[in-house]
Amino acid sequence: MSGVRVLVGTRKGAFVLTSDGKRENWDVAGPFFGGWEIYHVKGSPVDPDRLYASQSSSWFGQLIQRSNDGGKTWQPAGNKFVYDGVPGTHQWYDGTPHPWEFKRVWHLEPSLTDPDVVYAGVEDAALFRSADGGQTWQELSGLRGHGTGPHWSPGAGGMCLHTILLDPINPERIYIAISAAGAFRTDDGGKTWQPINRGLYSKYIPDPTAEVGHCVHRIAMHASRPDVLFMQKHWDVMRSDDAGANWREVSGDLPTDFGFVIDVHAHEPETVYVVPIKSDSEHYPLDGKLRVYRSRTGGNQWEPLSSGLPQQDCYVNVLRDAMAVDALDPCGVYFGTTGGQVYGSADAGDHWTPLVRDLPAVVSVEVQTL
């Protein structure tokens, strides 16, 4: 392990931050695709020089960019995302039927085994797959077609498929999450899907324990134990020990359990990180203090981590795709804010420093351990 590359998507371009294994000094490259919204940048686990980026704008739509040299140069890939068959309708904010319309790609998840295979989570919610390095895209339409699709409705940010977790042990198993439909799982490579929302309680929907309709913000897993999932829901931090079949709340002693990000330590499957946000109507930290909370017990008991983070007058948000960990020892933890800071900790969260302070609003953060 010689270093770390942090891939940052922002409202006005992408940035690539690099450092050696000490993670003390950072080189900042970018902006790439200046002026465009970069929802996500992620590298292939099997070929770290192969990166994919989601580039979009309200004016010119969606593009997919691909790099074969670790982000130094980029080439446009395919951007034709067409829903399979007749798209049908989902629920609009007011409960009326609304046609499925492609808007943008929120999340790109490269395959764990093949650098040319990559999944895309899109708005309006659907999952696409490319087997040719992003040149062409095919919808895995069993997700939208499994039965509850007409009842899905958008969250405040749009009806986005924002989380894709590939099971490193069972290649046929994929978890996804949609705001505000909930979490789903396939056990046959994406042909058929089932909702996995039992145990979630959402008091803001008519039936708080409904099969679908929950505003899941993010799900995380540890690669060694893919049946154990951690979820940051709109409100509530949740845990499942049976691949999503049942969930239980592990918010415990958090000062607020609203938030967006959640991630798991690279070497300690029971160590989990969240960034509590005051409420769904005030998207900023409690009391103007930016704090990461860490649980070393798989939830319920949480400790605030604040060393190096602003502890007064801080009113940024940390969006759902904006936290990641590296695989070095000790584990590095990184997150980006809507204020344009990317913070990193080279000691599993005990101490934090800004890698860069004044980027555009950060939408996503991914880390490659090189």
Partner 1 sequence: MMISQRSNVMIRVVLPQHLRTLAGVGREVTLDVAGPVTQRAVLDAVEARYPMLRGTIRDQVTQQRRPLVRFFACQEDISQEPPDAPVPEAVVSGKEPFFIIGAIAGG
By CB under 8 A, residue 35 contacts partner 1: yes
Regarding 59 and contact with partner 1 (CB under 8 A), the answer is yes
**Residue count, binding to partner 1 (CB under 8 A):** 13
Among residues 36, 119, 175, 273, which is the contact residue for partner 1, using CB under 8 A? 36
Contact between 96 and partner 1 by CB under 8 A: the answer reads no
List Cα–Cα distances, 217 to 172, 224, 263, 276, 350, in angstroms: 24, 23, 12, 12, 25
Q: Is 60 one of the binding residues for partner 1 (CB under 8 A)?
A: yes
Of 102 and 302, the one with the shorter C-beta distance to partner 1 is 102
194 binding partner 1? (CB under 8 A) = no
Q: Is 57 an interacting residue with respect to partner 1 (CB under 8 A)?
A: yes
At residue 167, what is the residue type? D
Collapsed DSSP state (helix, strand, coil) of residue 286? helix
Four-CA torsion 285, 291, 297, 300, nearest 10 degrees: -30
- Strands across the sheet with 3-10, in order? 27-32, 13-20, 3-10, 362-369
**Residue 88 Cβ, how far from partner 1 at the closest point, in Å?**
16
Phi, psi (5° rounding) for residue 146?
A: -75, -10
Interface with partner 1 includes 312 (CB under 8 A)? no
- Applying CB under 8 A, among 22, 80, 198, 248 the residue interacting with partner 1 is 80
CB 286 within 8 A of CB 256: yes
Stretch that binds partner 1, among 61-69, 250-258, 314-322, 351-359 (CB under 8 A): 61-69
Residue 171 contacts partner 1 per CB under 8 A: no
Residue 60 or 96: the one with the smaller Cβ distance to partner 1 is 60
Residue 78 or 269 having the CB closest to partner 1: 78
| Residue 74 or 106 with smaller CB distance to partner 1 | 74
Residue 281 touching partner 1 (CB under 8 A): no
Question: From the CB of 230, what's the least distance to partner 1, in Å?
Answer: 36
Span of 55-63, 123-131, 173-181, 261-269 interacting with partner 1 by CB under 8 A: 55-63
In this structure, are residues 179 and 215 in contact, taking their beta carbons and an 8 Å threshold?
Answer: yes
Backbone angles phi, psi at 293, to 5 degrees: -110, 135
Q: How far is CA 188 from CA 58, 111, 126, in A?
A: 35, 15, 17
Type of residue numbered 350: D
62 binds partner 1 (CB under 8 A): yes
Q: 56 - beta bridge partners?
A: 37, 62
Instruction: Based on the shown chain and the rule CB under 8 A, indicate whether residue 61 belongs to the binding site for partner 1.
Output: yes
Which listed residue (3, 48, 79, 131) binds partner 1 by CB under 8 A? 79
Q: Closest Cα partner for 327 from 45, 73, 11?
A: 45
Residue from 1, 46, 82, 245 in contact with partner 1 (CB under 8 A): 82
| Interaction of residue 147 with partner 1, rule CB under 8 A | no
Between residues 60 and 313, which has the closer beta carbon with respect to partner 1? Answer: 60
Q: Which is nearer to partner 1, 65 or 197 (CB)?
A: 65
Q: Are 232 and 240 in contact (CB under 8 A)?
A: no
Stretch that binds partner 1, among 53-61, 88-96, 173-181, 353-361 (CB under 8 A): 53-61
DSSP string, 142-194: TTGGGS-GGG---BTTBSEEEEEEE-SS-TT-EEEEEETTEEEEESSTTSS-E
The answer to whether residue 68 forms part of the interface with partner 1 (CB under 8 A) is no
C-alpha 320/C-alpha 336 separation (Å) is 10
Provide the minimum distance between the beta carbon of 108 and partner 1 in the complex, in angstroms, as a whole number: 17
What residues line the site for partner 1 (CB under 8 A)?
Answer: 35-36, 57-63, 76, 79-80, 82
